[in-house]
Amino acid sequence: MDRIDKILAQWNRERPDLDTSPMGLIGRIRNLALHLSREMDKTFARFGLNNATFDVLATLRRSGPPYALSPSDLLATMMVTSGTMTNRIDQLEKSGMVARSTNPEDGRSFLVSLTDKGYALIDAAVTAHVETQTQLVSALTQEDRAMLDGLLGKYLTGFETDAPKKNSAVDISGG
């Protein structure tokens, strides 16, 4: 019996007329998200990163050579405001992780690309991140992981097919 079961039992005692089972599911998902984020944040911190800066570097790295994207491409992938994106890019540029350059296809815009320093850092950080994620799911068997992944994917699809109506999508890919 976990903490959520105790809360549900209290509600069932106080309000037996309500089906509180959705509260249990959502409560567990929220609590798991907090635990997972906390552990992943520890990994990011080992590399001088936070979730936001890791996200930018990981997005550039997984885009493939030449590891460069326009700010609008970054915005579309990460679903943050343009002001937030500019701030992230500025921070990473100051630390030597990314560089801005004129877009060869459109001289009016620029590209954000990984520097050698940024490439080396994100490669090390993503390796540690995957190790952390592997540890975080180690309590589940391969079959459990596959089943949970399928169910969560099905559940998430219901929200993402309506994404234009809802501005609640979050990239927790961590790379």
Q: Domain for residue 170, yes or no?
A: no
Task: Look at the chain and report how many structural domains it folds into.
Answer: 2
Q: What is the spatial distance between Cα 90 and Cα 22, in angstroms, rounded to a whole number? A: 42
Determine contact, residues 97/47, Cβ cutoff 8 Å.
Answer: no
Answer yes or no: is 174 within a domain. no
Q: Are residues 83 and 136 in the same domain?
A: yes
Domain that holds residue 39: 1-46
Instruction: Give the three-state DSSP class for 170.
Output: coil
- How many whole angstroms separate alpha carbon 118 and alpha carbon 92? 9
Half-sphere exposure of 150 (CA within 13 A, CB side): 6
Residue 54 near residue 129, CB atoms below 8 Å: yes
Q: How far apart are the first and last CA of the chain?
A: 34
Phi, psi (rounded to 5 degrees) for 169: -70, 140
**pLDDT tens series, the chain, 175 aa:** 889 999 999 999 999 999 999 999 999 999 999 999 999 999 999 999 999 999 999 999 999 999 999 988 998 887 788 888 999 999 999 999 999 998 888 778 899 999 999 999 999 999 999 999 999 999 999 999 999 999 999 999 998 886 555 444 455 445 4
How high is the pLDDT of residue 41? 97
Residue 165 lies in a domain: no
If you search the block for the tokens 């994620």, which residue do you land on? 133
Instruction: Give which of 152, 151, 169 is closest to 160, Cα–Cα.
Output: 169
Same domain, 152 and 69: yes
Is residue 3 domain-shared with residue 38, that is, in the same domain?
yes
Same domain, 82 and 17: no
pLDDT at residue number 164: 52
**Residue 62 shares a structural domain with residue 10:** no
Residues 30 and 112 in one domain: no
Same domain as 27, residue 67: no
Residue 104 lies in a domain: yes
Sorted by sequence, the CB contacts under 8 Å of residue 109 that are 6+ apart come out as: 70, 71, 102, 103
Query: What pLDDT, on a 0 to 100 scale, did the predictor assign at position 162?
Result: 66
